[in-house]
Structure 1
Amino acid sequence: MADLMQQLKTPNFLLKWVELILAVVSIALLRDSGSFPGLNVDKIVVAYMTLAGFILFNCIIIVGSFNGETLGKITMLLYLLSGAVLFITTGAFIIEHYDQKLFNTTANDKFLASGIIALVNGAVYLVDGFFTRRG
């Protein structure tokens, strides 16, 4: 039990919660901004798949941590690197279309906020990778 409590206090575990919360907020803002007229469907699919997929992955990792399970260091680093790349790509896709003013002002602001949060989440994945590599 003491080992579990120590593991739950690590920066990596706390960062998993931050990653999860940022992904949930980003997908909620993206969904709330409505339809995406004139946007490349492939880019929207990448955005939704990244956000939804990593919400699922983080939930699995968090639940596994409560049960004392851990992933190997290399597996975790590959997961974190792919998360960083995909979230940065998602944020870039979203922000790329912000200037086109395809939406009403409120939806456009939510769209931009989703992209910024996705970029921030990509940075959090990189920080998590740093702590994983170091630890």
Structure 2
Amino acid sequence: MSDIDDQIIVEFRANAGQVGGQLAGIPVMVLHHRGRKSGIERVTPMVYLPSDDKNVLFVMASNWGAPENPGWYYNITSAGEAEVETGTETYRVTARDLKGEERDRIWATVVQRYPVFGGYEEKTAGIRKIPVVELTRA
């Protein structure tokens, strides 16, 4: 885990799930997942898109626009489950990789609310389509 991730997690936990700086006012969660090969527990802070259903949220495997998907994406889609912290709550979730029109509809909402993701999409054009994963409270 990077020093930046560590700082975000410390701030997140100290402020009931709120963080400042570039992430001020944007929903942030902390994802707990196990390495699919190593079995090592990992903790990753990330932006999420809330759903109208309070038991569902969406995460985007943008990896800051890098040419490859982030490791957490493979870990949770392989396991089919993970644990998340949102606000002051920690709970288990099931993970479902969205495809086709369903993925595209959610992605359009993501880019509308968080334009930086449109930039990530431009960086990955012709290389990969950024995955969207639905996390549902177990």
Tell me the TM-score normalized by structure 2.
Answer: 0.25
Which protein has greater RCO, CA pairs closer than 8 Å, 6+ apart?
A: 1
Larger strand proportion of the pair: 2
More helix by share: 1
